[in-house]
Structure 1
């Protein structure tokens, strides 16, 4: 009966800690573009950050060890003619990064072995097919050289990066702006959150919506939807009263959420980050100064609040290190790269061990 009172969990005492000041990346002019992407992408070799750029779009790529003050003249990746809205490292090659921009293109870049010594203006490939700005990009989790992009033309394109060809063009599936896209773990389908308040599960090969939940969150502000490892879907959004919400959905039965929690009435979009190994979801609100984290389990209420990491400064964006870049000997289970106005601060999540 004791177990009924205190839920057994290995992650109940996970705590977050910012690194020392000298291990931050300082003097970075983080982009001020109004767009709800993370603005930061990280892998075991590099941290990439979208920055302010006059007359075009640019992002910084820094070797992870290049901490401290970043010189104003440090070279950027600057081939886009409009602001960069989203960046993502290729999961299969730590030197390849894709970017989507207001100039309606997606560009794929090859970063030199030791980082940039001069500005990078020539992408390996330019993917042109959107008629409006491209706000979302997502590499396929298992297939090499397959990249998804979603634009403000409400079209999802899936590209063969090697040949620069459109593999699939999915238009007519979204009547309004697409807020987020997430591949399932094996990459056989993806889910989207849309401004029409629907969550859709899409089979790209067939070009069809497999399942749809209308009014997943009743509020008018942006939603996010991500696939979990077991195929369930985790969403963030707003209630009709503008309360921020989290929900868990079973794609086999989208009638009602398996779990729904209200958080607070802040107005920043909640960005979810998911770790399939621990089944922990970290939720970072844009403009918040905290990271809340929850364990997703098989038994009700399914979404269990673990703790909140709180700091003084609000976050402009957030990077998330893949598991292979963590120091597991220090019991590190997640590492965030928090963007402030002028710097990037790593935050380490640890499971305490005696």
Structure 2
């Protein structure tokens, strides 16, 4: 697996901060690969991710530049220090997580799933799979500690945490069974493994749901067990409500949900109109760079304009156009 590493790959690697201390497991991007005068074999020059802070180095060794990066934001490591290659197939945001993606609920059961005025519109199933991998990776990165704490996370320092959510926000989430649930944000912040207290770059939202759910089953693989110090609960919930902690990518604000519903409705209408269009309508719409709906509106406009023009040419005493002969109409005018 490590032999296919190339410049630009994102990796997790071990880094000794000080003698006789446990190796830190750090995220970074490979910037150079090649021999190094102070080491045998191939050495990897890695730029450390910003969220892991600056450790040491600046992309040079003995004054020789190997690559450029932020001051003291680089390190050189041997291949055996690289633990694994991070999954680059995920579309990532600036925080290294998949961008949120939303999709509509089937309309057949949408009404029955209305919860506090909201239903449908949530992440595609594929996003769940990607986030499951990230949550699992966050735990397995610290395998020794996670095994002891059973994956329990402790809330990190939220003083400098930035999030699109804030306490009190009304939000929409969707279970793995595509059931839509409304709730209220009660906590936002990063998480860290409780034993070694290391901050992990996973932004999480703590939500009090409006109904009773089973977080472990309803959000299988993406629910994160977060506590305060010494295992205390971060917030209380009302009876018949539940507490769930999810990555931000699985949470929608009410405004986002409403906007998505409007887009879904417009898309559904467009698809319906496209489905019942004739081949001639489709051909002409494509020829004039229009949708079928736009083409139909334009054609109806032409029909209405012609009809208005014909009505303007009639006089009150005239019979309807098309009724009677020209001679009959002339005779009527001649008798006046």
Tell me the TM-score normalized by structure 1: 0.21
**Greater Rg, structure 1 or structure 2?**
2
Say which structure is richer in helix: 2
